[in-house]
Amino acid sequence: MSTKNIVLIGFMGVGKGALARELVRCDASLYALDTDDMIESLTNTRIKKIFATAGEAAFRALEQKTADWLAHNVTNAVISTGGGFYKVNNINSIGTVVYLKADFEWILQRILNAPNAKKKLKKRPLFQDIEKAKSLFSERFEAYEKVADIVIDISEHDTRRIAADLLAQLNQQ
């Protein structure tokens, strides 16, 4: 494994955090970070509140600040990101960008079937209305693929298998 980071991108609810946790479980040399958690720690404010009080543009600026810091200071990490983080201007300098791909229906079912679905949805200001979330997905899905170095169809296998396959692929590079 190189000292590069693994950057997981993809739509809200696709399972970026779950895959990050599985990757660090499989490879003890890696450490897991999450950009939303970093922003909440930095500002001592929940994402939902940042959107409500400072607005989405302020949140995107915090994502860029986080990207700049990660690019200069972090190695050997699996970084799960917020669904819009792929828009930062230096994502490819942070590490190998892995897009977790699935269609909108699959993502919606994954969210709705989660044991704490209501709580998970409440935390996401851009997933309050299913139709709006669906059109956001349509706006973004090609862009995710464009910035990605690796695309994984996450709906095809379970998280364990995906993590093992991804680590094997990265180790060959």
* Cβ 12 to ligand S3P shortest distance, Å: 3
User: Exactly one of 62, 82, 95, 100 binds ligand S3P (CB under 6 A); which one?
Assistant: 82
Among the candidate windows 79-87, 111-119, 144-152, 162-170, which touches ligand S3P by CB under 6 A? 79-87
Smallest Cα–Cα separation from 34: which of 25, 45, 21?
21
Neighbours of 50 (CB within 10 A): 19
User: Exactly one of 4, 68, 92, 125 binds ligand S3P (CB under 6 A); which one?
Assistant: 125
Structure tokens that stand for 136 in this block: 């956001």
Q: Give the H or E element holding residue 160.
A: helix 159-172
Structure tokens that stand for 74 in this block: 């972090």
* Cβ 59 to ligand S3P shortest distance, Å: 7
* 124 touches ligand S3P by CB under 6 A: yes
Contacting ligand S3P within 8-37 (CB under 6 A): 12, 36
* 62 touches ligand S3P by CB under 6 A: no
In 12-158, which residue ranges form alpha helices assigned H by DSSP? 16-26, 35-43, 47-53, 56-73, 91-94, 104-113, 117-122, 130-147
User: Exactly one of 32, 47, 97, 148 binds ligand S3P (CB under 6 A); which one?
Assistant: 47
